[in-house]
Amino acid sequence: MTAIKVPTLGESVTEATVAQWLKKEGDEVQADEPIVELETDKVTLEVNAPESGVIAKITVAEGENVEVDTVLGEIEAGASGSKSAANTSSKTEKSDKETTDKTPEGLKAGANDKGDAKNDTEEGDTNEALSPAVRKIVNDNKLDASKIKGTGKDGRITKGDVLAHMEDGGNKEDIAKTPAHKAVSTHQVSNSADQGPREERVRMTRLRQRIAERLKEAQSTAAILTTFNEVDMSAIMDVRKSYKELFEKKHGVKMGFMAFFVKAAVNALKEFPSVNAEIDGDEIVYKNFYDVGVAVSTPQGLLVPVIRDCDTKSMAQIEKDIMDLAGKARDGKIAMEDMQGGTFTVTNGGVFGSLMSTPILNRPQSAILGMHKIQQRPMVMPDGSIEARPMMYLAMSYDHRIIDGRESVSFLVRIKEALEDPQRLLLDL
C-alpha cells in the first residue's frame, strides 16, 4: 500500500481542508492523476496519485481539516484495476445469470429494463460527484442530478445550479415520476421546491474565512480613507478602437483597459513613493519596485494575483500576464507565490456594473485603486458646450497613517491626467 499524503502547502500555511475527492474507493488511478482537492487559506490545490493502482481506502472525509503529511488514503499499487475489473465482471455475469433464471420468459430481453438500469447507474454516478451540500439539496427534493446543467469547474454542479433548476420547475418532472405509494407527500415536496429552502447553513470555505479575516484586519489596523475623482475615457477608447485589431494580431492578446490603469498607476507611484510603501512596526518601508496586484473574482472568492516589475514591462506583456494569472486563478491552479509581495492593487468593480465604491486595503499595502463602470454622462466642455462623454469614477482608498490627503488627491489626479492623455504613458510624463 502507498499512502496518499498532504503535501507541503506553501509558506506559512500548515493546515488545509479536504474540499472534494475526485475519485472514490475502488477507482483505478494513474500516477500523477489528480485524486483529491485541498483548500487552504489562499488557494485550492490538487493532490496527485503518487503511483498507479487502485484507491483501496479513503481515511479523511470531505470537509475535514488536515495538516501537512496527514495520510488521506491508500493506493494499492499494481492492482491497476484489472483484478477489480475481473471480479466485477465475474460478479456481474453471475448476477445476470441468476436474474435471467428467475425472470419470466417474456421479460428477459426487455429494452425498458436495460434503459432503466442504465439511468439508475448514471444517476448514481452523478450523485457521487456532488459536494455534500449540493447532494443534500438534490436528495431532499428528489431531483435527478443528471438533468441539472453544471456551471462549476469541469462542469460540476453547484448549489446555485440546483436552485436555478428548481426555480425553472425542473423538479416537477422528477416528482411526476415518483411511485404512486409516495404520492401523498408530492404536495409537500412541490411547495418546498417552489419556495426553496427557508434557511440553509453552509460552512465557510477556508479561503472565504481567510478573506474575511484579512478584510477585518485591514479595517482594524489601518486608518482607511477614500478619495474620489472621475476620468474621461474617450482618449483610451479611441486608441483601442484604432489599434485593437493590430495590437491583437501582433501580440496575441486583446487590448484591455487594465494595462492602461496599471501603467498610469506605476507612473504615479514613482512620483509619490509613500503610496508604494508600507508600515512595519514603527518603520516605513519604501519599495523601489512596482509589483501591482490585480483583483480577480473567482468561484472560490476574491484573489489578487501580482504582476511583477510593471515598470519594465510593455502594455502587451502586462495584458498577457493579467490574462494568464486571471485564468489560473479562476481554474483554481494559481500558486501562492503568484499572490505574494504586491506593493499596490487595482480592482475593477465596473465589470459587475458598480458605479462607485470604496475598496478596502489589501494589507500590508497602503493604497488600492478602484475602477468602475464607464457610463455616458453630460459634461461641460472647455468651450462651454455640453457633450455626452464616457466617464468613469475612480476611488482610491489609502492608509492615512502614512499617506497624507495632499498626496492621495495628487496621486489620483496624476492617474486621471495619464488616462485622459495616453501619450503621457508613452513619454513617461
Can you spell out the DSSP letters for 234-289?
A: HHHHHHHHHHHHHHHHHHSS---SHHHHHHHHHHHHHH-GGGGEEEETTEEEE-SS
> Distance between CA 339 and CA 329 in Å, rounded?
10
Judged by DSSP in three states, 294 sits in strand
Whether 234 and 146 share a structural domain: no
Residue 201 lies in a domain: no
Residue 96 lies in a domain: no
Residue 304 lies in a domain: yes
Whether 184 and 225 share a structural domain: no
Whether 300 and 387 share a structural domain: yes
Whether 349 and 419 share a structural domain: yes
Torsion angle of the four alpha carbons 19, 24, 25, 30, in this order, in degrees rounded to the nearest 10: -100
Positive/negative CA dihedral, 12, 14, 15, 18: positive
| CB neighbour class for 44 (10 Å; exposed up to 12, middle 13-18, buried from 19) | buried
What's the pLDDT score for residue 79? 57
Work out the number of other CB atoms within 10 angstroms of the CB of residue 305. 22
CB 428 within 8 A of CB 267: yes
Residues 6+ apart with CB under 8 A from 231: 391, 392, 394, 415, 416, 419, 420
State the catalytic residues: 400, 404
| Cell of residue 401, nine digits | 497613517
Torsion angle of the four alpha carbons 116, 118, 124, 129, in this order, in degrees rounded to the nearest 10: -140
Work out the number of other CB atoms within 10 angstroms of the CB of residue 245. 12
Grid cell 500590508 — which residue? 364
Residues 6+ apart with CB under 8 A from 223: 399, 400, 401
Whether 146 and 16 share a structural domain: no
The CATH number given to whatever domain includes residue 16 is: 2.40.50.100
> Distance between CA 107 and CA 399 in Å, rounded?
78
Residue 200 lies in a domain: no
Whether 284 and 160 share a structural domain: no
Reported residue count of the chain is 429
Whether 119 and 238 share a structural domain: no
Whether 228 and 122 share a structural domain: no
Whether 330 and 268 share a structural domain: yes
Count of H-run helices and E-run strands, the chain: 12, 19
**Counted domains in the chain:** 3
What's the pLDDT score for residue 64? 82
Please give the model's pTM, rounded to 2 decimal places. 0.59
Work out the number of other CB atoms within 10 angstroms of the CB of residue 101. 8
> Could you say which residues of the chain have pLDDT below 50?
81-92, 94-95, 97, 99-100, 102-123, 172-190, 192
What is the extent of the structural domain holding 172? 110-195
Grid cell 486595503 — which residue? 361
> Distance between CA 269 and CA 412 in Å, rounded?
10
Whether 239 and 357 share a structural domain: yes
Residue 285 lies in a domain: yes
Domain boundary among 161, 195, 229: 195
Whether 178 and 214 share a structural domain: no
Residues 6+ apart with CB under 8 A from 238: none
> Distance between CA 145 and CA 272 in Å, rounded?
56
> Distance between CA 116 and CA 127 in Å, rounded?
16
Judged by DSSP in three states, 94 sits in helix
Whether 223 and 151 share a structural domain: no
The CATH number given to whatever domain includes residue 215 is: 3.30.559.10
Rg (C-alpha) for the chain, rounded Å, is 28
Judged by DSSP in three states, 33 sits in coil
> Distance between CA 315 and CA 405 in Å, rounded?
30
Residue 85 lies in a domain: no
Residue 63 lies in a domain: yes
Grid cell 496599471 — which residue? 262
